[in-house]
């Protein structure tokens, strides 16, 4: 899925685009109070728009990968495990990191639809919680989202502002597909 961001002002969608498009729009428009959402996660994003457009783009766009592991997209983060888990991981072929990557890849292959459903549910719920948590029927619509009841979700969202409803339905769509 292409990474996109969506900008809202109140209940109006202003733009959906990639990071470069969104930053260019924000810098050119100086739109004031807006909410920016990552469409893959539903999380809100904030950007430092100080300086020229070139400075903003240089600061916010990912830097080209250099030699070594970052070229592969490897990100170091902390994992907390019990000593017995560390002992087992260290005894595996390739060490702890390689084993964890293999285990994750195997699990993702076992049920690829489940990951898409969970991602859609989470993104739609985060978006709605941030922008429409006080909309009529929000709580029941959230329950319908997690129950994967698309018809009920659509019915409960009928009275919502058009752009919020359309975006929520777009984000939630994979959760309502029958084969997910």
Question: What is the per-residue DSSP string for 87-100?
Answer: HHHHTSTTHHHHHH
Q: Are residues 118 and 101 in the same domain?
A: no
**pTM of the predicted model, to two decimals?**
0.77
In this prediction, residue 157 carries a pLDDT of 97
Q: Are residues 128 and 106 in the same domain?
A: no
Rounded to 5 degrees, φ, ψ at 114 are: -65, -40
Q: Are residues 122 and 172 in the same domain?
A: yes
In this prediction, residue 180 carries a pLDDT of 47
Q: Note whether residue 93 is domain-resident.
A: yes
Tell me the helices (H) and strands (E) count for the chain, helix number first. Answer: 8, 4
What domain count does the chain have?
3
In this prediction, residue 29 carries a pLDDT of 84
In the chain (180 residues long), the average pLDDT of successive 10-residue segments reads 87 95 89 89 93 90 66 74 88 87 84 86 96 93 96 97 97 82
Domain coverage including residue 93: 77-110
């Amino acid at each position: 899925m292409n990474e996109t961001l969506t900008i809202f002002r109140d209940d109006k969608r202003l733009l959906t685009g990639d990071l470069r498009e969104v930053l260019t729009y924000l810098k050119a428009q100086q739109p004031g109070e807006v909410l920016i959402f990552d469409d893959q996660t539903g999380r809100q994003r904030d950007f430092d728009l100080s300086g020229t457009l070139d400075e903003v783009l240089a600061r916010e766009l990912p830097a080209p990968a250099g030699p070594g592991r970052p070229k592969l997209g490897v990100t170091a983060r902390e994992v907390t495990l019990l000593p017995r888990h560390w002992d087992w991981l260290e005894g595996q072929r390739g060490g702890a990191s390689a084993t964890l990557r293999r285990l994750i890849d195997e699990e993702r292959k076992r049920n690829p639809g489940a990951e898409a459903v969970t991602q859609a549910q989470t993104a739609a719920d985060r978006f709605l919680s941030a922008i429409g948590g006080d909309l009529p029927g929000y709580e029941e619509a959230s329950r319908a989202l997690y129950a994967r009841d698309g018809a009920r979700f659509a019915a409960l969202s009928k009275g919502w502002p058009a752009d919020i409803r359309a975006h929520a339905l777009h984000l939630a769509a994979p959760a309502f597909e029958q084969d997910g």
